[in-house]
Amino acid sequence: MTDESTKTDETPGYLSRKVVVSSENGLHARPAGRLAQEAQTFDSEISLVVDGQSVDAKSILDILTLAAGPGNLVELRAEGADAAAALDRLEALFLNKFEGA
């Protein structure tokens, strides 16, 4: 996992952070639901990007379409007033394998 937030000319308007899916079953229904539920608590627009496919992080169904398995690199993107806080919270979920956090 990298703990970097970027806002450059190449990624205008949003903050980005990269995380790795470390749970052995990947982003299946339970962690996808938890991720969507947490994302919905923020006003910012939040998306997940895996292998060039971008989806709305506030939708469990969209997250499940990523089929992100163990070891997959996921880019978290957020744009809005609470973007940094959203990335911090969602990254913590990944770091804790969606347990507690």
Taking the domain 15-96, which CATH number applies? 3.30.1340.10
Q: In angstroms, rounded to a whole number, what is the distance separating the alpha carbons of residues 9 and 56?
A: 23
Q: What is the pTM of this model?
A: 0.85
Short-list 58, 53, 44, CA closest to 72: 53
Short-list 73, 55, 79, CA closest to 65: 55
Active-site hit among 5, 18, 22, 28: 28
Q: In angstroms, rounded to a whole number, what is the distance separating the alpha carbons of residues 13 and 80?
A: 8
Q: In angstroms, rounded to a whole number, what is the distance separating the alpha carbons of residues 7 and 28?
A: 30
Q: What pLDDT was estimated at residue 23?
A: 87
Q: Is 28 labeled as catalytic in the residue annotation? A: yes
pLDDT digits (tens, 9 = 90+) for 16-38: 999 999 988 999 999 999 999 99
pLDDT digits (tens, 9 = 90+) for 48-95: 999 999 999 999 999 999 999 999 999 999 999 999 999 999 999 999
Looking at the chain, the number of H-run helices and the number of E-run strands are 3, 4
